[in-house]
Structure formats: structure tokens, C-alpha cells
Homo-oligomer: A and B are copies of this chain.
């Protein structure tokens, strides 16, 4: 039985191996994804983001437990910014594992972002596809820490949940960072601490002042005690169901896919370039010219695109730069 077939049969160890395979970009990954792809697209993908310390892991675990109780299977992808300093996040994972990790209907995977410079791990998309093909009804993607991943979560999720807490000025921070604009649902977690209502009022009034979009649903939770979890789950489900009813879910997924294909083209391009000594030398020469002020980066890019679209073998000889002097 192929690895893909084992994954589809519900074999947890095979699922774990398949995720490692796509995460590492192993040579078998392409064939594996091709075999799995006909089963991809059924899972609801929900992204969770927010500043550190708001209780993301606890909330995600409680939501997983809620959906498990409703008979759904759950995959969790925790994206870790892979700093050498992130002992804390890994510890959090271990604590969570104790709470829901023994449930055979839950599969949890932590991913490091590696060299992605703060971005969402390159393979996050593929890992979600694998969990989807493995038959998980819900895939929860959680970003850990601050950075680009917070915003990029919209590239992976059907529904994006922004989590805040009444503590440490999260509200102001989130408004400044563009987080509010990507929220389909806002959860104020740790709502049993002082300031939750004030934060809710603050958020609601900023949306009233802004004419740019309809305000997202806003729910207060205290995940550590289970308060508000059912309401948060309902708000998330309502968003995805509305998307589906409108036909917007397909449009949303198509837009994401266009972006994803674009990124993959880019990756494939740089992979090809790194194996093409003539192209690398060609680029080095352009870089030298730009550093010497004899050419702009924009002109180098245009020439490079001309060279690429001129087809293999052609255009290898340096063309005269527009700015040659």
C-alpha cells in the first residue's frame, strides 16, 4: 500500500511520515501530493493569530475539544517562528498534547518556519492539504509569535480568527498592525480579567469609525475555564457557512490558490536558477552593474524576465543594458 493510501486509511504513523515528507520537500513529496490531491478540499481551514501571550494554544485546544465532542476530526498545525529562543512555545505544545493529544481523532503537528524570515512556513499549505486528504473535518492553523506569519495566515485559512486579550495593550497593537483587517472573527480571550468590555468597546468603535469593511463577529472567551468556547465555535462556523452559501468560499480559495501558485512559480524559478550556472553568472553581472550605479534594479528585473521568456538556451549572452555607459 502506498504512503498516500495509508494516509487515507487513517494510519497515524503514515500521516506523520507524509507530513515530514512534504515539510522537508523530499523528492517523493510531489508524487505523494498528486496521489492525495483528489481527496483535498473537504476540510474547513481555520487560522488563528494574535499577539503572544493571549492564550492562543489554550483556545485552539478548547475549540478542538469542542469540535471533537460534536463528532468532528481535527488536525492542528502550530507554526513556530523557529527562533533559537522559542523554548516557551515548545513547552506550551507539550502541555497541550497532554490535554487533547491522546485523542485519536486529533492530530497535532508543530512546524518551524525555518529560513522564511518571519513568514509562514513554506510547507504550511502542503501540510494542511495532507491533513485535509487524511480526512480531518477541521484543520486549525495556529501561528506562534509575532511577524509576517500573523498576516499571512489569510493565505491558508477559510476563516481567520484574531485572538486578543485585555492585557498589555493588545487592542492598540492589533489595530496598528493590520491584524484587524484580516479578522473574520475576533476573540477576546482571558475575558475574566479586567478590561475585556473596555477592549470590546474600543474595537467596536474603531470599526464604526472605519468605513472600509463590515465589522467581524466579536466573542469573549476565557479558554482556561471553557467560558465562551461554544459561542466562539458558533461564530467561526457561521462565518464559513456564510462563505459557502454565498459561493464566496470557492472564490476565496481560488484567490488563495492563485497566490500560492505564484509563490511556487517563484520557488521553482529560483531552484532552476540555482542549478543554472550561466543564469547565475548572468545575474551576478547585473548585480555588479547595479551596485556600480550603471543600471537600476528595475531594469535588471526587466532584462531577466526577457531572458526567461526568451526560452532555454536563448538569451544567455548578455544583452546590452538600457543604461550601458
- Whether A9 sits at the interface, judged by CB under 8 Å, is no
Q: Judge whether A210 and B265 touch: CB under 8 Å.
A: no
| Residues of chain B lying within 8 A (CB to CB) of residue A52 | 169, 172-173, 176-177
Q: Name A166-224 residues within 8 Å CB distance of B.
A: 168-169, 172-173, 175-181, 206, 209-212
A296 with B53, Cβ < 8 A, contacts A206-B85, A210-B85 known = no
* Stretch in A12-20, A68-76, A267-275 touching the partner: A267-275
**How long is the Cα–Cα vector from A151 to B151 in the complex, in angstroms?**
13
| Residues of chain B lying within 8 A (CB to CB) of residue A325 | 38
Which residue of B264, B286, B290, B291 is within 8 Å of A298 (Cβ)?
Answer: B264
- Whether A55 sits at the interface, judged by CB under 8 Å, is no
| Residues of chain B lying within 8 A (CB to CB) of residue A84 | 181, 209-212
- Whether A47 sits at the interface, judged by CB under 8 Å, is no
Chain A, interface size: which category? Answer: 35 or more
**How long is the Cα–Cα vector from A302 to B305 in the complex, in angstroms?**
17
Q: Which residue of B lies closest to A86 (CB)?
A: B176
Q: Which residue of B lies closest to A203 (CB)?
A: B85
Q: Name A16-48 residues within 8 Å CB distance of B.
A: 30, 33-34, 37-41
Q: Which residue of B lies closest to A271 (CB)?
A: B305
| Residues of chain B lying within 8 A (CB to CB) of residue A144 | 176
* Stretch in A225-233, A237-245, A250-258 touching the partner: A250-258
**How long is the Cα–Cα vector from A70 to B260 in the complex, in angstroms?**
49
**How long is the Cα–Cα vector from A177 to B80 in the complex, in angstroms?**
9
Copies in the complex: 2
**How long is the Cα–Cα vector from A86 to B175 in the complex, in angstroms?**
7
Q: Name A269-325 residues within 8 Å CB distance of B.
A: 269-270, 272, 283, 286-288, 290-291, 293-302, 304-305, 308-312, 314, 322-323, 325
A286 to chain B, nearest CB (A): 7
Q: Judge whether A178 and B293 touch: CB under 8 Å.
A: no
A88 to chain B, nearest CB (A): 7
Q: Judge whether B323 and A175 touch: CB under 8 Å.
A: no
Q: Judge whether A34 and B145 touch: CB under 8 Å.
A: no
- Whether A81 sits at the interface, judged by CB under 8 Å, is yes
Q: Which residue of B lies closest to A302 (CB)?
A: B268
Q: Judge whether B34 and A172 touch: CB under 8 Å.
A: no
**How long is the Cα–Cα vector from A267 to B297 in the complex, in angstroms?**
12
| Residues of chain B lying within 8 A (CB to CB) of residue A178 | 81-83, 113, 117-118, 145, 147
7 A–B contacts, CB within 8 A, in A order? A33-B296, A37-B296, A83-B177, A85-B176, A117-B152, A261-B297, A268-B301
The 10 lowest CB-CB distance pairs between A and B, nearest first, are A264-B301, A148-B148, A118-B151, A146-B177, A85-B175, A145-B176, A84-B210, A311-B311, A38-B293, A33-B296
- Beyond the given A38-B293, A84-B210, could you list 17 further A-B residue pairs with CB under 8 A, ordered by the A residue number? A34-B296, A34-B322, A40-B293, A41-B293, A81-B176, A86-B175, A118-B152, A146-B147, A146-B173, A147-B150, A147-B151, A148-B151, A257-B291, A264-B298, A265-B304, A269-B305, A309-B311
